[in-house]
Structure 1
Amino acid sequence: MVVLACAVIALTGCNNSKQPKQAGQPNRPECIAPAKPGGGMDMTCKLIQAGFKDTAVIADPIRVTYMPGGVGAVAYNKIVGSDPANNDAIIAFSTGSLLNLAQGKFGNFTEKDVKWLSGVAVDHGLIAVHQDSPYKNLNDLMVALQANPQKVSFGGGGSVGGQDWMQAAMLGKKAKINPKDMSYVALEGGGEVLTALLGQHIQVGVSNISDVGSNLEAGKIRILAVFSDKRLKGKFANLPTAKEQGYDIQWSVIRGFYMGPKVSQAAYDWWKDSFIRMMKNNKFNALREKQGVEAFDLTGDQLSIYVYKQTEQMRQLSQEYQLLH
């Protein structure tokens, strides 16, 4: 009867032939993007969703869920405070997350309260304007800022002191004006920034390369400057840097993942090993190149050391801008 049953369900497989799960393998893998759809956190989750599928490292599809609020604070607090042992979930983070942690914007939690899992990419900050904007290059914008900073409205993900505000503030300093005199609209993530820019509710959008691809290709926006040391490669090679226009402003955005503080060692090791295998595959490198981001392949303890050091540097930077209380 067992043989007959297996023959009848041959198209779907028999229980006796199912591959056993590996130790620590998630039952329902989930990537949490701590923002609304359409921004850099969304891209980070979808990058590895496609990466694991294309490299066949994970058989089960990774679902992407969204948990906006406080530019990462809501997700961080949920995972640490009420879901610390979720072996199925990985949560996206960026340099902006570390900046917020450094400033105490994630409540009482610090960078030591989660398990840092893997970095996957380096993104770069930028400033963009609507296609109909009178600002044709970075110098046009700087002249306008110097004339009257209140008349130039910037929009970015997060509040004053956040990653996007910091990039706008660096521009202000180069223009020799007080960043606190600038007009800044706080939005929830890169998706909202692009929506506000396309609707001309703001004049200048502060964002990242990973946020702007489709709108740039459609000719709806113009990139005034990328905050990288040198021009990017591939389809973004024609975008000017701030540095080449006489303003040495650089802001790299690390993108990666963490897990809850009480996940099992087996689950953590399974995820870490899966990331390592995926990032060694050339198909994943092609996905990163298509997205306009560069490799950043730190995992486990190496990533933790990087995060602790980077967060401390962010505390020092925040103190310089008088953002710590």
Structure 2
Amino acid sequence: MKMTMFKVLGTSALLSAMSVGSAFATECIAPANPGGGWDFTCRQIANIMYEVKAIDAPMQVTNMAGGGGGVAFSAVVADHNTDPDVIVAASSATTTRLAQNAYAGMTADQVRFVGAIGADPGVIVVAKDSPFQNLGDMVAAIKADPASVAFAGGSAVGGFDHMKPLQIMKAAGFNDITKIKYIGVDGGADAITQTVGGFTQAMTGDMSEIVGFIKSGDVRVLAVLTEERVPGFEDIPTAREQGFDVVAVNWRGVYVPKGISDDQFNTWATRLKAVADSEQWKTAMAENGLAPFTKVGADFQTWVDGVIADTVTLSKEIGVIQ
């Protein structure tokens, strides 16, 4: 995904805030090095929250890389459990890893998920000369001969890209998902190259990874895995409207420490909603290939709980976890 780095605040504004003793009253932890998706999420939220006056002073952004997000997760649980001024960037990768016990015994219920304010939509893609004209064609082919369709994706076996075709086939009533062929390669670019080159029959990935290939006419997108069609790509049908009730998006959002109060949780939810509603965030989404996806507050926590439960079930069925 194309990422853009932003200055959080100019020096003069920062010094002004420090003069009243309230600089960096809040902090966003990005569980990765600068430049990636979690870093992008923190820096955008920090910048926009201050711009729209959802917070009174600049927010500090702290990079805490390691363990695919596990180092930051452990630190928040151990050291910040009741800290009302800390948020942590999260995405679908966070919940997938928690579901698969990738954080060494840590569980999703040790934090509270505040909300998501944008998403990179999941997609199922074939080469332009593929015989599959729609998602139903592909599903029928897999049901008839599971070995006839191999998917390439940018995540490892059991990762988020792998889960997308499994969810679709489950929604189609096909339960022997261990027979679905999946090849994990090094990122979405390699996955689409495999498919365009005819080495696999389909690619499972995110919209941002294939925009250039859509514009060049090298691929056909069979489905976008969102609740509604994506702005700017209205000719691509959703899986839902083709009869397969699957929503799989790489959401961008935050979680907070488990031990804060409901009022403090709701304060962060209100702040995050202010970012989601801002023109600045809409511009940032458009520039970085994200689609609108706003779920904030208790409803988002409920949704995350459901996603994790589904991921656990699928992960057990394919043998990623016991």
What's the Cα RMSD here?
A: 4.8
Instruction: Supply the distance in 2 between the matched residues of 1:23 and 1:13 (Cα, whole angstroms).
Output: 10
Cα displacement string for residues 253-305 of structure 1 (whole angstroms, at most 9, x for unaligned residues): 34311245689999988865642432343443454466452242414x56445
Q: 2:100·2:312 contact (CA, 8 Å) conserved in 1? A: yes
Q: 2:116·2:254 contact (CA, 8 Å) conserved in 1? A: yes
Long gaps (5+) in structure 2: 1-10
Q: 1:129·1:221 contact (CA, 8 Å) conserved in 2? A: yes
Cα displacement string for residues 128-174 of structure 1 (whole angstroms, at most 9, x for unaligned residues): 23556565543553455356433533233544444332221134453
Q: Which residue of 2 aligns with 1:194?
A: 189
Q: 1:145·1:175 contact (CA, 8 Å) conserved in 2? A: no
Q: Which residue of 2 aligns with 1:255?
A: 252
Q: CA deviation at 1:322?
A: 7.4
Structure of greater Rg: 1
Instruction: Supply the distance in 1 between the matched residues of 2:146 and 2:202 (Cα, whole angstroms).
Output: 12
Answering whether residue 240 of structure 2 is matched by residue 239 of structure 1, we say: no
State the secondary structure of the residue aligned to 1:112. helix
Cα displacement string for residues 201-255 of structure 1 (whole angstroms, at most 9, x for unaligned residues): 65422223355445534545431211235x415202111223444x414124343
In the superposition, relative to structure 1, how do residues 67 and 155 fare at CA in structure 2: closer, same or farther (>3 Å)?
farther
Q: Which residue of 2 aligns with 1:154?
A: 151
Q: Which amino acid aligns with 2:191?
A: A
Q: Which residue of 2 aligns with 1:180?
A: 178
Q: Which residue of 2 aligns with 1:207?
A: 205
Q: Which residue of 1 aligns with 2:20?
A: 20
Give me the identity figure in percent.
24
State the secondary structure of the residue aligned to 1:180. helix
Q: Which amino acid aligns with 1:248?
A: F
Q: Which amino acid aligns with 1:116?
A: F
Instruction: Supply the distance in 2 between the matched residues of 1:35 and 1:153 (Cα, whole angstroms).
Output: 33
Deviates more, 1:174-183 or 1:79-88: 79-88
Q: CA deviation at 1:113?
A: 1.7
State the secondary structure of the residue aligned to 2:108. coil
Instruction: Supply the distance in 1 between the matched residues of 2:256 and 2:179 (Cα, whole angstroms).
Output: 39
Q: Which residue of 1 aligns with 2:123?
A: 126
Cα displacement string for residues 80-136 of structure 1 (whole angstroms, at most 9, x for unaligned residues): 468879998743323453344234333211112224343223554221235565655
In the superposition, relative to structure 1, how do residues 53 and 194 fare at CA in structure 2: closer, same or farther (>3 Å)?
farther
Q: Which amino acid aligns with 2:88?
A: I
Instruction: Supply the distance in 2 between the matched residues of 1:219 and 1:14 (Cα, whole angstroms).
Output: 47
Instruction: Supply the distance in 2 between the matched residues of 1:236 and 1:51 (Cα, whole angstroms).
Output: 26
In the superposition, relative to structure 1, how do residues 183 and 17 fare at CA in structure 2: closer, same or farther (>3 Å)?
closer
Instruction: Supply the distance in 1 between the matched residues of 2:317 and 2:117 (Cα, whole angstroms).
Output: 29
The number of aligned residues is 305
Instruction: Supply the distance in 1 between the matched residues of 2:87 and 2:15 (Cα, whole angstroms).
Output: 29
Answering whether residue 89 of structure 2 is matched by residue 92 of structure 1, we say: yes
Report the TM-score when normalising by structure 1.
0.66
Q: Which amino acid aligns with 1:25?
A: A
State the secondary structure of the residue aligned to 2:117. strand
Q: 2:124·2:224 contact (CA, 8 Å) conserved in 1? A: yes
Q: Which amino acid aligns with 1:155?
A: A
Instruction: Supply the distance in 2 between the matched residues of 1:160 and 1:74 (Cα, whole angstroms).
Output: 22
Report the TM-score when normalising by structure 2.
0.67
State the secondary structure of the residue aligned to 1:235. coil
Instruction: Supply the distance in 2 between the matched residues of 1:76 and 1:100 (Cα, whole angstroms).
Output: 11
State the secondary structure of the residue aligned to 1:278. helix
State the secondary structure of the residue aligned to 2:235. coil
In the superposition, relative to structure 1, how do residues 204 and 20 fare at CA in structure 2: closer, same or farther (>3 Å)?
farther
In the superposition, relative to structure 1, how do residues 13 and 241 fare at CA in structure 2: closer, same or farther (>3 Å)?
closer
Q: Which residue of 1 aligns with 2:104?
A: 107
In the superposition, relative to structure 1, how do residues 131 and 73 fare at CA in structure 2: closer, same or farther (>3 Å)?
farther
Q: 2:25·2:59 contact (CA, 8 Å) conserved in 1? A: no
